[in-house]
Amino acid sequence: MFKDYKYPREAYGKTLRELGRERKDIVVLDADLSSSTKTKFFADEFPDRFFNLGVAEQNMIGVAAGLATTGKTVFASSFAMFVVGRGYDQIRQSIVYPKLNVKIVTTHAGITVGGDGASHQIIEDIALMSVLPNMNVFVPADCVETEKMIRAIADHKGPVYVRMGRSKVPTIYDDSFEFHPGRASILKEGNDISIIAIGIMVSKALEAAEELKKKGISARVINMSTVKPLDEETIIKAARETGGIVTAEEHNVTMGMGSAVASVLSEKYPVSMFKCGIPDVFGESGDYKELMEKYGLTADNVVKTSLNVLKRKR
Amino acid sequence: MILKQMITMKENFVKSREERTKRLEEMALKIRRHIIREIYEAGSGHPGGSLSATEIITALYFHIMKHDPKNPKWENRDRFVLSKGHSCPTLYAALAESGYFDVKELLTLRKLGSRLQGHPSMKIPGIDICTGSLGQGLSVAVGMALGARLDSRLYRVFVLLGDGELQCGEVWEAAMAAAHYKLGNITAIVDRNRLQIDGNTETIMSLEPLPFKFKAFGWHVTEVNGHNFNEIIDAIEKGFKIKGKPKVIIAHTTKGKGVSFMEGSVAFHGKPPNDEQFKIAMKELGEY
Ligand SMILES: Cc1ncc(C[n+]2csc(CCOP(=O)(O)OP(=O)(O)O)c2C)c(N)n1
Ligand SMILES: [Mg+2]
């Protein structure tokens, strides 16, 4: 179904480099993972505006905060596990509470990290970042969206968390796509059920919709890349018009995007729904595709789940 | 003739320093009264570390730092980070006495709706960063200092750390970064009152040999009596002449300084005075 597979983190690095050429206020920080997060693309061209803080993520967050107080637009990157996990209190007190202009852009989130295993596979970062007041949480689905998102957040004043994975993802958008914080994008219209997905699961949702079509079921596919602020209107409309919702994400099913959708539905428009995601267990080593199979992050599982939700639909 | 001139110069110098000390000591006394009243009115807060830091903060706000209370966001202002955020009653008093807001507002500390939160927040003009969770301020100072460098600005960054706070690993991450990036525009001051919540720093988690630790991290180190204005100011100003290296001043202080029953007291780290203690404290601080 898809042909063009690319690394969102490369799109991130390239976009940063372009922003660096356009704007003097862009400053980038990393914590000894610049070759993996691709902030290296920026570092190589703008060594004066790039600071490697070494393996010291808490300090990196504080330094980002300090730079932001002097009027810089700061991007701080590392693996999601280490920035969010190690730096939570620093993110909370030094960036989000004072509402500073820092973009925490992480890579290698979720189980698709693969071989490194559970120590590196953060499945709770969306939860941790979404519960912070003032924080925005975005998850791009492909390289086009990554570029548009990075450009959008560079223009937005205030804290943002962006989560990317390690692996390649298929390109689903063309260049005409625009990213707007707080606005989900509908990738496919449908009337029988809605599949709301983020990140690597958006392409799986599209595949699932194709499968469902063969069974005569028309599925709407929504990319909820703006997890916070959440596009409640699109969720409620989908519930009203299709009567059933399936969510899909490479994150703990507890307190991820699906939980955010569920809480909107339960308060405003209860319909039958089910969440696909990592079932509140730690990940493990393995090839990322095998891991996705094992933890149900597949088009097949989204199809199965959709059929179950359809059965429960009133 | 020349000798006589030199003697007068020396006399003038001594006289101006005496006047400066007198002015600063008066201000410090005023600030101490504010601290006690703020915390008493609030019914909670941290008098011990606020009183030990009084001379340090007074020297910064009323002699060392370039700042403009009429224009708190002035781009070339010197920056101050109160990393030990629980000592904010002192900072709030210094800001009020400088003219950032009315001193009457000090009595709203920790009350619902007040700008004066229990730990520094962005609600207050003159404050650039939130603190309270210890260990983060030096990192923020590093970012501010890098920002100054990127914009070729000459402002300086001051940061006040608690000694117990130095047990936080992040402080040493930041210390490493400040030296690595040769941030000569940073002056850190350690309020070395030798106490933290559970007791003496050396019994809880020893810091000594503290000067050597900072030296080993690439910092220029000076030790002073943290209640002596001339020593504090001389150390800070001499530090300015040393380029390309962050400076730390280990200021030996007495926790609770100025109020007899709070001096050296672990109990008054985070406890307000009761009615009677309040009266005694205010009397000791010269208010009858
Ligand atoms: C990260 C963190 N852990 C614990 C506390 C609770 N706490 C507040 S003050 C304090 C002791 C600090 O001692 P010190 O730095 O020596 O401060 P001072 O003696 O100057 O008051 C502690 C543990 C905190 N504010 N932040
Ligand atoms: Mg102490």
Sequential DSSP letters for B153-187:
----EEEEEETGGGGSHHHHHHHHHHHHTT-TTEE
pLDDT single digits (tens) B179-189 = 999 999 999 99
Atom of ligand 1 nearest to the CA of B255: 19
- Residues A14, A160 within the same domain: yes
- Residues A15, A105 within the same domain: yes
Q: Please give the share of chain B, as a percent, with pLDDT higher than 70.
A: 100
Contact B136 A94 (CB under 8 A): yes
Which of A202, A146, A139, A198 is closest to A175 using CA atoms?
A: A146
Output the CA B230–ligand 1 centroid distance in Å: 28
Q: What is the pLDDT of residue A313?
A: 82
Distance from the Cα of B119 to chain A's closest Cα (Å) equals 11
- Residues A204, A154 within the same domain: no
Distances (CA, A) of A114 to A8, A39, A152, A274, A280: 16, 21, 30, 26, 17
- A25: domain CATH number is 3.40.50.970
What tokens were used for A187?
């990738």
- B114: domain CATH number is 3.40.50.970
Atom of ligand 1 nearest to the CA of B168: 1
Ligand 1 and B93: CB distance under 6 A: no
Which of B282, B287, B272, B223 is closest to B39 using CA atoms?
A: B272
User: For chain A, what's the residue count?
Assistant: 314
Q: What is the pLDDT of residue B3?
A: 86
| Residue A22 belongs to a domain | yes
Residue A201 exposure: Cα atoms within 13 Å on the Cβ side: 34
Report the residue of chain A nearest B147, measured CA to CA.
A67
- Residues A66, A18 within the same domain: yes
| Residue A176 belongs to a domain | no
Contacts of B158 in chain A (CB under 8 A): none
Contact A98 B146 (CB under 8 A): no
- Residues A163, A277 within the same domain: no
Least CB-CB distance to A63: which of B75, B143, B169? Answer: B143
For chain B, how many structural domains are there in total?
1
Ligand 1 and B207: CB distance under 6 A: no
- A202: domain CATH number is 3.40.50.920
pLDDT tier at B288, thresholds 50, 70, 90 = low
The pairing of strands A169-170 and A5-6 is antiparallel
**Residue where a domain stops, chosen among A116, A147, A170:** A170
Atom of ligand 1 nearest to the CA of B132: 25
Output the CA B34–ligand 1 centroid distance in Å: 22
pLDDT tier at B287, thresholds 50, 70, 90 = confident
- Residues A197, A265 within the same domain: yes
With 90 as the cut, is the pLDDT of residue B1 above it?
no
Q: What is the pLDDT of residue B6?
A: 87
With 90 as the cut, is the pLDDT of residue B2 above it?
no
Phi, psi dihedrals of residue B270, rounded to the nearest 5°: -135, 45
Ligand 1 and B192: CB distance under 6 A: no
Q: Which residues pair with B157 in a beta bridge?
A: B79, B186
| Residue A178 belongs to a domain | no
- Residues A71, A164 within the same domain: yes
**What does the DSSP 8-state code read for residue A111?**
G
**Residue where a domain stops, chosen among A141, A170, A199:** A170
Token pair 């030096």: residue: B138
Output the CA B136–ligand 1 centroid distance in Å: 12
- Residues A141, A80 within the same domain: yes
Contact B131, B76 (CB under 8 A): no
Ligand 1 and B163: CB distance under 6 A: yes
Atom of ligand 1 nearest to the CA of B86: 9
Q: Which residues pair with A244 in a beta bridge?
A: A272
| Residue A133 belongs to a domain | yes
Query: Range of A247's domain?
Result: 185-313
Contacts of A62 in chain B (CB under 8 A): 136-140, 142-143, 170, 174
For chain A, how many structural domains are there in total?
2
pLDDT single digits (tens) B45-89 = 999 999 999 999 999 999 999 999 999 999 999 999 999 999 999
Least CB-CB distance to B174: which of A48, A59, A64? Answer: A59
Ligand 1 and B258: CB distance under 6 A: no
Report the alpha-carbon distance of residue B37 to residue B19 in Å, rounded: 27
Which distant-in-sequence residues (6+ apart) come within 8 Å of B131 by Cβ? A93, B81, B82, B83, B84, B85, B119, B120, B137
Query: Range of B271's domain?
Result: 2-284
Report the alpha-carbon distance of residue A280 to residue A56 in Å, rounded: 28
| Residue A179 belongs to a domain | no
Task: Give the DSSP letter string of B71-114.
Answer: -TT-TTPPEEEESSGGGHHHHHHHHHHHTSS-GGGGGGTTSTT-
Token pair 């008493």: residue: B40
ipTM of the complex in this document: 0.94
Contact A93 B130 (CB under 8 A): yes
Instruction: Report how many Cβ contacts below 8 Å link chain A to chain B.
Output: 111
Catalytic residue among A57, A145, A147, A250: A57
Residues in chain A predicted with pLDDT less than 70, given as ranges, are: 314
* B56 touching chain A per CB within 8 A: no
| Residue A177 belongs to a domain | no
Q: What is the pLDDT of residue A16?
A: 98
Ligand 1 and B48: CB distance under 6 A: yes
Contact A58 B133 (CB under 8 A): no
Contacts of A90 in chain B (CB under 8 A): 136, 139, 170
Q: What is the pLDDT of residue A314?
A: 62
Asked if A57 is an active-site residue, the reply is yes
Output the CA A132–ligand 2 centroid distance in Å: 30
- Residues A139, A94 within the same domain: yes
Contact A98 B129 (CB under 8 A): yes
A154-A158-A161 Cα angle (round to 5): 75
- Residues A213, A238 within the same domain: yes
Report the alpha-carbon distance of residue A245 to residue A195 in Å, rounded: 6
Contacts of B122 in chain A (CB under 8 A): 97-99
